[in-house]
C-alpha cells in the first residue's frame, strides 16, 4: 500500500513513508521514549521503597511550620551577636586561607597536568591526583581531617585546600591545554628557559581566565566554610551546629541570615574581580 502511495509523488522520493504515504518530518525516537519510561518507573520504585508517603509529607509541613515559628524573631542579643561575629570571622579566615594556599599549589599542579606542557607520565599522575582530590565532597574530606588533626579551623582549612586544589588545577590544566602553541613556540625559539617561557608565553594567555576561576573558588569556599564547620571544621558552621543542638532556633535564624548575606557579598566580590581582569 505504501509503495502505491509513494508512487504518486515520483519527484520527491522520501526516505521514510508513514501510513497513508505522508512523509514524516519527526520520526519517533523509540530509544529515547523507552529510556524516559524506564527512568519514570525507576523513580516510582525508588520512592516506594524509600517509604515516601503523602501523610509523612503533610506531617512534615506541620512540623516545619512550628519550627519556623520558633525561629522568629531572629535572636540579636549582644552575646549571641558576639558569637556570630567570632564564628563568621573564623569562617572568613578559613575561606581566604584555603583559597590562597589552594591557588598557590594549583599553579604547579595545573601545569604538571597540562598534556601540552608536561611529559605524559607526569601529566597522567598529576591528573590522577586531581581526580583523587575531586572525588569526595569537602564535607567528607573535612570529616577525615577532623579525625586526623582534631576539631577546629585547621581541619576546615585543610579540607577546603583539597577542594580548591582539585577544582583550580583541573580548570587551569584545561585552560593551559587550549593555549596557542605558536605564541609559546616563538618564546621558546629565543632560547628562554622553561620557567621564562611559562611566565612570558603561557601565563599571559591563561591569567585572566584563571583569576576568574580563583574568584569563583573564593566565593565557593565562603559557602563551604560554613559546611565544613558542621562536621567539626570550625568557623560559623560550628556555631550553627551548637545553636541547633541547644534548640536556640532564633539564633539559628540569625546565623542563617548572616551566612546568606556573606555569601551574597562574596558573589558580588567575585563578579567584580572577574570584571576587573577581563
In the complex, the residues that contact other proteins under the rule CB under 8 A are 180, 182-183, 185-193, 195-197, 199-201, 204-205, 207-208
Comparing CB distances to other proteins, the nearer of 105 and 187 is 187
Closest CA to 230 of 240, 221, 218, 220: 240
Residue 135: name the closest of 99, 91, 165 by CA: 165
CB of 181 to other proteins, least distance (A): 9
The neighbouring-strand residues paired with 23 are: 17
Q: Which is nearer to other proteins, 192 or 256 (CB)?
A: 192
Rounded Cα distance between 205 and 209, Å, is 8
Write down the least CB distance from residue 126 to other proteins, Å: 21
Q: Of 187 and 263, which CB lies nearer to other proteins in the complex structure?
A: 187
For the bound state, the minimum distance from the C-beta of residue 117 to other proteins, rounded and expressed in Å, comes to 15
DSSP string, 81-147: HHHHHHHHHHHHHHHHHHHHHHHHHHHHHHHHH-TTTS-HHHHHHHHHHHHHHHSS-HHHHHHHHHH
Task: Output 139 or 187, the one with its CB closest to other proteins.
Answer: 187
Q: Cis (ω within 30 of 0) for the bond into 73?
A: yes
Q: How far is the CB of 104 from other proteins (least distance, A)?
A: 15
Q: Which is nearer to other proteins, 7 or 196 (CB)?
A: 196
Query: Minimum distance from CB of 178 to other proteins (Å)?
Result: 14
Residue 198: CB minimum distance to other proteins, A: 8
3-state secondary structure at position 1: coil
Q: What is the C-alpha to C-alpha distance for residues 137 and 30, in angstroms, rounded to an integer? A: 37
Shortest approach of other proteins to residue 192 CB, angstroms? 3
Residue 252 per-residue DSSP state: H
Distance CA 104, CA 163 (A): 13
Identity of the residue, 242 or 273, whose beta carbon is nearer to other proteins in the bound complex: 273
Closest approach of other proteins to the CB of residue 207, in Å: 8
- DSSP per-residue letters across 178-232: TS-HHHHHHHHHTT--HHHHIIIIIHHHHHHHHHHHHHHHHHHHHHHHHHHIIII
- What's the CA gap between 273 and 267, in Å, rounded? 10
Amino acid at each position: 500500500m505504501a509503495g502505491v502511495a509513494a508512487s504518486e509523488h515520483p519527484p520527491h522520493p522520501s526516505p521514510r513513508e508513514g501510513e497513508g504515504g505522508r512523509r514524516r518530518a519527526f520520526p519517533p525516537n523509540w530509544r529515547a521514549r523507552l529510556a524516559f519510561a524506564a527512568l519514570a518507573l525507576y523513580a516510582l520504585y525508588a520512592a516506594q521503597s524509600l517509604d515516601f508517603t503523602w501523610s509523612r509529607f503533610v506531617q512534615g509541613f506541620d512540623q516545619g511550620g512550628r519550627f519556623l515559628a520558633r525561629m522568629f524573631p531572629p535572636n540579636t542579643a549582644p552575646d549571641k551577636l558576639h558569637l556570630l561575629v567570632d564564628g563568621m570571622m573564623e569562617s572568613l579566615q578559613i575561606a581566604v586561607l584555603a583559597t590562597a594556599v589552594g591557588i598557590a599549589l594549583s599553579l604547579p599542579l595545573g601545569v604538571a597536568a597540562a598534556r601540552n606542557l608536561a611529559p605524559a607520565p607526569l601529566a597522567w599522575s598529576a591528573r590522577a591526583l586531581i581526580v583523587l582530590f575531586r572525588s569526595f565532597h569537602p564535607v567528607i574530606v573535612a570529616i577525615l581531617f577532623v579525625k586526623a588533626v582534631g576539631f577546629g579551623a585547621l581541619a576546615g582549612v585543610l579540607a577546603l585546600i583539597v577542594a580548591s586544589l582539585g577544582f583550580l588545577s583541573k580548570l587551569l590544566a584545561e585552560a593551559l591545554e587550549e593555549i596557542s602553541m605558536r605564541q609559546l613556540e616563538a618564546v621558546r625559539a629565543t632560547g628562554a628557559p622553561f620557567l621564562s617561557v611559562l611566565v612570558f608565553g603561557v601565563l599571559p594567555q591563561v591569567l585572566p581566565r584563571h583569576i576568574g576561576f580563583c574568584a569563583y573558588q573564593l566565593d565557593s569556599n565562603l559557602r563551604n566554610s560554613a559546611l565544613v564547620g558542621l562536621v567539626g571544621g570550625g568557623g560559623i558552621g560550628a556555631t550553627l551546629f551548637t545553636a541547633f543542638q541547644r534548640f536556640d532556633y532564633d539564633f539559628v535564624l540569625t546565623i542563617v541570615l548572616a551566612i546568606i548575606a556573606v555569601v551574597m557579598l562574596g558573589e558580588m566580590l567575585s563578579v567584580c574581580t572577574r570584571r576587573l581582569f577581563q
